[in-house]
Structure 1
Amino acid sequence: MSNWLKTILFIIGSALLTHLPLIPSSFFRNLDTMVHEFGHAVVTLALSGKVMYINLYADHSGVTYSSLTKSWAFLPVSLAGYFTASLFAWFLFSAYSRGKQRLGLQVMTVLAVLSLVLFVRNAFGVTWLIGFIVLTILVLALTPKWLRDFYYLLVAFICLEESVFGPFSLILYASRNAGQAGDASNLANYTGIPAIVWAVVFTLFALWCAKQAVQAFLGRNKGSRVRGKQVPVPYKRE
C-alpha cells in the first residue's frame, strides 16, 4: 500500500474515531484554530507588524486582527495560518515517534499560555484557553502514563484531521463563492490568483505534512513491535 493511500485512510480513520459520541472532540478542535491564529500573529510580529488581538469562537473558527507596515508582508502572514497548523500536527506525531509526548504537551501548554497572555481577548477564547491550560497541566502532573499518552494521541489525531480538512473545506467554499474562502480569498485579493488555487496549495501542503506525520506514527509502532520480539541467539556447544 502506498504511503499516500495510507495517509488518506489514516486521516479518514482519524475523523471517524474522533467523532465517536464518547470522545469530547469539539473541545480540542479549538487547539488547531489557536495554532492557526498563533501562526498569523507570530509572522506578523516577525515582519515588524502589530497584532491587535485574536478572537477564538465556539464554532472552531478564529480571526487575527493586525496591521502591517510592509505591503508585501501580507503574503507570508496570510500563508502562515494553515502552514503553521499543518507543521504543528506533524510535530506532534514526530514527538510521539521519539517518545517525547511530555514535550509535546508542554509545547501545547506554552503556546496556549502565550496566546492567552499576548493575543486572545474575547470571552470564549479566554475561557477555552484557561480550561485547556488547566486540563493539560493536570494531565502532565497527575495522570498515569497510559492516560497521558491517550490524551496526547487524542489531541494529535484531532489536530491532524483538522489540519487537513480545514484547508480542504476552503476548496469547497472557493468553488461556491470565491469571497468566502478565508485566507484563500485574502490571498486572491492580494495576488490576483484565484482563491481556489490558494486553497489547493494549502491542502497539498497539509497532505504532505500529514504524510510525514503518518510515517512517523507508523514507524514508531513498527519499531515498538520489533523491539518487543525476542531475537534468537545462536548457541554453539563446544
Structure 2
Amino acid sequence: MRAWMKMAGIVIITAILTRFVPFSAFFRNVDTLVHELSHALVTLVLSGKVMYIHLFGDQSGVTLSSYTERWMAIPISLAGYIGAALFAILLFLLHARKKEQAGLVVVAVLAVVSLVLFVRNSYGMMWCGGFAALTIVICMFAPPWLRNSYYLLIAFICLVESVLSSFIILSLSFVDPEKAGDAANLSKATYVPAFVWGLVFTGISLWCAKISTSLLFRRSRVTGSES
C-alpha cells in the first residue's frame, strides 16, 4: 500500500509542478509520439501498412494504418497506452542504472525515425525535428547536471502523461464512448464496452507507474549508499 501511495503522490505532485515548467507542453508530446509509434510498430509487426502519423500542439495524435484482418485492430489499439506506459518504465530503469545519456539517445532516435518514416503533418514534423535537435545538443554538449535534469523532465512527463491520458480515456468511455479513442476502437472490434477497455488502460498505466517510481527510489538508495 505504501508503494501505491508513493506513486500517487509523485504523479499528482509532478502533474502540478510540470505545468509550471516553461514549454512543458512541448515535452508532453514525447508521450504522444511514443503512443502513436506503438500503434505503428504493432501494425508493421502484423504486416500492416502505416499511412501516416500526425502530432498536434494540444498533445493529441493520430495514426492511420491499414491491415488485412479485423482482429488486428485489437493489438494495434492496445499498443498505444500500453507502449507509452512501458516506455516510462524504460526511462526510469535507465535512470536507475545511471544511463541517462543512453536514454536521451533513444528518445532522439525515436523522433528522427518518426520524422523520416511516419510523421507527415507540418506541426508534427517541426516538433520531431526541433525536439531531436535539442535533445542531441543536450546529450552531447550539456554539463551532466543539465543533461540529467533534462532527462528527468522527460521521464517524469512521460510518467504523468501515461497515467493522465488513461484517466481521460476512462472518463470519456463513460460520458461519450464514441469519442473514447482506442477504447472506442476496441469496443467496436470486440463488442466489449469502451469503459472496460478504459479500466484496462488505467490499470496498466497505474501498475507501470508504480514500477517506475519504485525504480526512482532504487536509484535514490543506490546513490545514498555510495555517498
- TM-score range normalised by the length of the shorter chain: over 0.9
2:11 paired residue number: 11
* Aligned position for 1:152: 151
What is the match of residue 125 of structure 1?
124
Q: Given residue 194 of structure 1, which amino acid in structure 2 is its aligned partner?
A: P
Structure 1 residues 11-31: Cα deviation after superposition (integer angstroms, max 9, x where no partner): 0011111111x4321000111
The percent of aligned pairs where both chains have the same amino acid is: 50
Amino acid at match of 1:64: T
The AA in structure 2 aligned to 1:14 is T
After TM superposition, the structure 1 = structure 2 runs for residues 42-81 of structure 1, keeping only pairs within 5 Å, are: 42-81=41-80
Equivalents in 2 of 1:220, 1:76: separation in Å? 33
- Secondary structure of residue in 1 paired with 2:114: helix
Aligned to 1:231: none
CA distance, structure 2, for counterparts of residue 16 and residue 104 of structure 1: 24
The residue type paired with residue 225 of structure 1 is G
In structure 2, distance between residues paired with 1:141 and 1:192: 50
2:37 is the alignment partner of 1:38: yes
Write the distance in 2 (CA, Å) between the matches of 1:73 and 1:114.
24
CA distance in 2, matches of 1:114, 1:136: 14
User: Which residue is 1:137 aligned to?
Assistant: 136
Segments of 5+ residues of structure 2 without an aligned counterpart are none
> C-alpha separation between the residues in 2 aligned to 1:155 and 1:144?
17
Cα distance in 1 between the residues matched to 2:18 and 2:23: 8
| Deviation (angstroms), 1:174 | 1.1
Residue deviations 1:178-228, cap 9 Å, x none? 101000011011111111110110010001111110000011012111221
2:43 and 2:67 in contact (8 A); partners too: yes
- Could you tell me which amino acid in structure 1 is paired with residue 206 of structure 2? L
Please give the TM-score of this superposition, normalised by the length of structure 1.
Answer: 0.94
- Cα shift readout 1:52-108 (whole Å, capped 9, x = no counterpart): 101001110000001001221111000000010000011000100000001110110
The 3-state SS of whatever aligns with 2:62 is strand
* Runs of 4+ with deviation above 4 angstroms: none
Q: Give, as a single letter, the amino acid of the residue that structure 2 aligns with 1:17.
A: L
Please give the alpha-carbon distance, in whole angstroms, between the structure 1 residues aligned to 2:136 and 2:26. Answer: 16
Amino acid at match of 1:46: V
Letter matched to residue 86 of structure 1: A
Higher Cα Rg, which structure = 1
The alignment of Structure 1 onto Structure 2 pairs a total of residues equal to 227
On the 8 A contact 2:73/2:185 being kept in 1, the answer is: no
The answer for the alignment partner of 2:197 in structure 1 is: 198
2:178 corresponds to 1:173: no
Letter in 2 for 1:16: I
Amino acid at match of 1:60: Q
SS of 2:68 mapped into structure 1: coil
TM-score, normalization by structure 2: 0.98
Does the CA-based 8 Å contact 2:53-2:61 persist in structure 1?
Answer: yes
Q: Which runs of 5+ in 1 are unaligned?
A: 229-238
Distance 2:34 2:121 in 1: 16
